[in-house]
């Protein structure tokens, strides 16, 4: 009977759960409206558009994803205009849109994020990589690709790996460029490096403007140039740099992922376009190889067939992230509906009192379930074609990684990887996640690089600028000790041991150092060396040469080379001429010191006599003999040549004999 009851209970439970599921399914909407904002004719936009449409088709054809609900996608072309992006985003709010994929660039994202915050509609951008968009100011903005903060960490790691210390940053002067270079500066500071020169460019800079900007680069010492622009502006920069001779031997160019985007998208590359990027180092967003990725890559040719008047185009990593963005949103919407979420909208209360006139802003509405859907998006955890998709507490995708590529000939060569887990490595990042993180400098590795000008040797990273001045080196005009340094009379030349050491060191350098020796002092008295060192800190001199002693207060003002003259132990004494005579042996001590020494010896002799005369025959006899014995004993103390046997002396001799006997006994044993 008990078994029958249990079976009936199980049947009733399963029946009630199925009824609940049917009710849940029945409450699901048939269609969920989402939007997308791209510039259809840009490299990112045309790839993203194809990828998003393919993902929508795949999601809607799989009933297990949304349980019968379909995604209705509306696309709007912003046509490279931030203003149109704002207008099109407002139009989405009139059609009960629950989420927007985009915007494409960071400038538009900054503005639209304010609108999304008011209307509580999540923005999912796979290409707006500005690090400041992750701030608490934009709670409804979600970056579905990697943050530029990690890309700049990769650039800083490359600079530190090759032991360079200064870079020149060339960037587009908008939110994307400025904030990216600010992140680069922070990452370089952690490596004890810095940006020596910032070269901003307008987003639509002309050829003359780019030329004028790069002329400043030729006047700097750093030869490490980091380019963080858009793909069109970046190629103009490199073409002008080639014309100015900035892409030859000795220069290093590091491009962010705009260059890899250009190479991946343009499957046909004109031969002349590769000349200006030879030897460059570039970064590419890294996605691990998988069956899902290979399947999508094999579909790409069919997906792009006939979609562009200029012919087929390649698949960039932004297309992979765009595809996963749709799946991410689909999983989040499914979780939102499973939790009983309702796709309801309400009027924006802030517009009830405002005079909006003919703007038709009253048609906009607030998505009531926006915050719940936002949290569902941040909680997603699945594996897409870009690898594991999951967010960190900082709302960045987990496991950021980049490929490091080197442009050679008509193609490229991968020289390594960077990840925030183990830094630079020649091993794919996914193979390192199973091991303990090891970001030490000894563990950083890259393959050999072919540098600009087909050079195999690592560039020094700096050079003397064209038109630069000479090093101003202060030299003390000595009056004494002219063997160390002295000015040749009647000329501006100097001679001496210090000058010879400096000249030998300069000749060992593999490059020319222009310098000028400047005399310091009036030539009548020896100059104050501390004041000479202080003038290095004030900029009067760039360096100083001479017999300059290294003392504490001077080391606080300037850096010193290793000392090349060792003084050793020095005794300073006044110079005084003395005549030699028979009493010269008394000169080490003064008369007072000799008297004190004599008295001390007499005291010792008296003390010994007191202790010994009652038991020692050597200290007995007539008073005259005892006085002579005391005086002799005091005098012989200086030379340890006592003829008398004292108790202490006998004890010492006895102990010595006992020790010798013990040693002989041990040897015999």
pLDDT by residue (tens digit) across 573-612? 777 766 777 777 777 788 888 888 888 888 888 888 888 7
Residue 527 CB neighbour total at 10 angstroms = 19
- Distances 163 to 129, 210, 447, 572 between C-alpha atoms, Å: 28, 29, 16, 46
Count of Cβ atoms closer than 10 Å to residue 320 Cβ = 24
Check whether residue 128 and residue 228 sit in a common domain: no
Q: Which residues of 158-172 are buried (b: 16+ CB within 10 A; e: fewer)?
A: bbbbeebbbbbbbbb
Same structural domain, 133 and 274: no
Burial 23-61 (b: 16+ CB within 10 A, else e): eeeeebeeebbbbbbbbbebbbbbbbbbbbbbbbebbbe
User: How confident is the model at residue 583, as a pLDDT?
Assistant: 75
Asked whether residue 103 falls in the same domain as residue 126, the answer is yes
Residue that wins the pLDDT comparison between 380 and 478 = 380
Same domain for 263 and 403, yes or no, is: yes
Q: What is the pLDDT at residue 7?
A: 36
Do 335 and 419 sit in the same domain of this protein? no
Helix (H, G, I), strand (E, B) or coil at 75: strand
What residues make up the domain containing 618?
588-634
Residue 1's pLDDT band (cuts 50, 70, 90): very low
Shared domain for 157 and 255, answered yes or no, is yes
In a domain, 26, yes or no: no
In a domain, 544, yes or no: yes
Whole-angstrom Cα distance, residue 534 to residue 630? 66
Cα gap 377→367, rounded to integer Å: 15
- Whether residue 116 is contained in a domain is answered as yes
Based on the domain organization, do 128 and 224 belong to the same domain? no
**Once rounded to an integer, what is the mean pLDDT over residues 461-482?**
80
Provide, rounded to the nearest whole percent, the portion of the chain with pLDDT above 70. Answer: 84
Find out whether 31 and 69 touch, Cβ atoms under 8 Å. Answer: yes
Q: Which of 559-563, 599-603, 634-638 has the lowest mean pLDDT?
A: 634-638
Q: What is the pLDDT of residue 667?
A: 44
CATH of the domain at 365: 3.40.50.2300
Q: Is the pLDDT of residue 10 over 60?
A: no
Residue at 238 is within a domain:
yes
Closest by CA position to 152, among listed 195, 116, 110, 98:
195
Tokens of 133: 């968009």
CB contact set of 644 (below 8 Å; sequence gap of 6+): 612, 616, 618, 619, 629, 633
| Residue where one domain finishes, among candidates 516, 534, 556 | 556
Does residue 121 sit in the same domain as residue 238? Answer: no
Q: Is residue 99 part of a domain?
A: yes
DSSP 551-587: -HHHHTTS--PPPSS---S------------TTGGGT
Are 188 and 210 within one domain? yes
Instruction: Decide: helix, strand or coil at residue 190.
Output: helix
DSSP state, 387? E
C-alpha distances out from residue 652 to 40, 159, 647, 648, 656, Å = 108, 74, 9, 6, 6
Instruction: Indicate whether 235 and 264 sit together in one domain.
Output: yes
Q: Is the pLDDT of residue 24 over 50?
A: no
Average pLDDT, integer, range 412-420: 93
pLDDT over 80 at 429, yes or no: yes
Give the pLDDT score at 99. 92
Answer yes or no: do 549 and 509 share one domain: yes
Q: Which of 304, 235, 228 is nearest to 267 (CA)?
A: 304
Closest CA to 398 of 387, 409, 408, 406: 387
Cβ neighbour number for residue 513 with a 10 Å cutoff: 11
Let me know if residue 171 belongs to a domain. yes
Q: Which residues, 6+ apart, have CB-to-CB distance to 293 below 8 Å?
A: 287, 320, 385, 386
- Same domain for 182 and 126: no
**At CB < 8 A and 24+ separation, what contacts does 535-541 make?**
535/474, 536/474, 540/472, 540/474, 541/472, 541/473, 541/474
The more confidently predicted of residues 638 and 488 is 488
Give the C-alpha distances (Å, rounded to integers) separating 125 from 58, 109, 356, 375. 20, 8, 30, 16
Residue 542 lies in a domain: yes
354: preceding bond cis by omega (within 30 degrees) = no
Between CA 481 and CA 529 the distance in angstroms is: 14
Close Cβ partners of 636 (under 8 Å, ≥ 6 residues apart):
642, 643
Between 356 and 523, where is the model more confident? 523
Tallying the residues shown for the chain, one arrives at 669
Domain count, the chain: 4
Does the pLDDT value for residue 658 go beyond 60?
no
Task: Assess if residue 232 is contained within a domain.
Answer: yes
- Note the pLDDT of residue 649: 53
Reply yes or no on whether the pLDDT at 388 is more than 80. yes
């Amino acid at each position: 009977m008990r078994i029958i009851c249990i079976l009936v209970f199980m049947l009733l439970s399963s029946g009630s759960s199925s009824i609940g599921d049917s009710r849940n399914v029945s409450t699901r909407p048939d269609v969920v409206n989402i939007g997308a904002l791209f510039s259809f004719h840009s490299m990112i936009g045309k790839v993203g558009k194809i990828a998003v449409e393919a993902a929508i088709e795949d999601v809607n054809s799989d009933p297990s994803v949304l349980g019968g609900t379909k995604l209705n996608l509306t696309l709007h072309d912003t046509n490279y205009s931030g203003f149109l992006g704002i207008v099109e985003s407002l139009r989405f709010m009139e059609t009960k849109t629950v989420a927007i994929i985009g915007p494409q660039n960071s400038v538009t994202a900054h503005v639209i994020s304010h609108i999304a915050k008011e209307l509580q509609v999540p923005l999912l951008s796979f290409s707006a990589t500005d690090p400041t968009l992750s701030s608490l100011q934009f709670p409804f903005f979600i970056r579905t690709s990697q943050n530029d903060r990690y890309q700049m960490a990769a650039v800083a790691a490359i600079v530190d790996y090759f032991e360079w210390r200064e870079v020149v940053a060339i960037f587009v002067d908008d939110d994307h460029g400025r904030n990216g270079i600010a992140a680069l500066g922070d990452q370089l500071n952690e490596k004890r490096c810095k940006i020596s020169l910032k070269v901003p460019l307008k987003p639509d800079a002309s050829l003359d403007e780019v030329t004028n900007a790069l002329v400043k680069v030729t006047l700097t010492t750093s030869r490490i140039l980091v380019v963080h622009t858009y793909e069109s502006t970046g190629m103009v920069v490199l073409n002008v740099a080639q014309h100015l001779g900035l892409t030859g031997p000795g220069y290093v160019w590091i491009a962010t992922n705009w260059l890899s985007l250009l190479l991946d998208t343009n499957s046909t590359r004109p031969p002349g376009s590769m000349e200006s990027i030879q030897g460059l180092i570039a970064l590419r967003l890294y996605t691990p190889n998988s069956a899902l990725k290979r399947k999508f890559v094999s579909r790409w040719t069919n997906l792009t067939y006939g979609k562009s008047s200029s012919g087929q185009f390649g698949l960039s990593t932004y297309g992979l992230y765009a595809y996963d963005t749709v799946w991410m949103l689909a999983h989040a919407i499914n979780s939102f509906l499973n939790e009983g979420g309702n796709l309801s909208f309400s009027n924006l209360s802030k517009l009830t009192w405002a005079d909006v006139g003919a703007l038709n802003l009253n048609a906009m509405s607030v998505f009531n379930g926006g915050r719940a859907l936002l949290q569902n998006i941040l909680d997603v955890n699945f594996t897409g074609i870009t690898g594991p998709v999951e967010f960190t507490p900082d709302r960045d995708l987990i496991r950021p990684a980049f490929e490091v590529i080197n442009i050679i000939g008509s193609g490229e060569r991968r020289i390594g990887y960077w990840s925030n887990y183990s830094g630079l490595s020649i091993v794919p990042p996914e193979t390192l996640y199973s091991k303990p993180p090891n970001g030490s400098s000894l563990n950083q590795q890259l393959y050999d690089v072919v540098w600009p000008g087909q050079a195999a040797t690592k560039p020094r990273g700096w050079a003397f600028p064209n038109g630069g001045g000479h090093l101003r080196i202060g030299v003390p005009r000595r009056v004494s000790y002219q063997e160390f340094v002295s000015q040749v009379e009647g000329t501006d030349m100097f001679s001496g041991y210090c000058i010879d050491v400096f000249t030998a060191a300069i000749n060992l350098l593999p490059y020319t150092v222009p310098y000028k020796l400047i005399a310091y002092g009036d030539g009548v008295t020896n100059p104050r060396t501390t004041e000479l060192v202080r003038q290095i800190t004030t900029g009067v001199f760039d360096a100083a040469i001479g017999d300059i002693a290294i003392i504490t207060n001077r080391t606080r003002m300037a850096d010193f080379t290793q000392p090349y003259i060792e003084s050793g132990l020095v005794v300073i004494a006044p110079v005084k001429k003395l005549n030699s005579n028979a009493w010269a042996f008394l000169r080490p001590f003064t008369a007072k010191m000799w008297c004190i020494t004599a008295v001390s010896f007499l005291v010792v002799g008296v003390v010994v006599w007191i202790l010994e005369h009652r038991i020692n025959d050597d200290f007995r006899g007539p008073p005259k003999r005892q006085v002579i014995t005391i005086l002799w004993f005091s005098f012989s103390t200086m030379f340890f040549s006592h003829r008398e046997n004292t108790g202490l002396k006998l004890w010492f001799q006895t102990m010595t004999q006992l020790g010798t006997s013990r040693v002989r006994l041990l040897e015999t044993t």
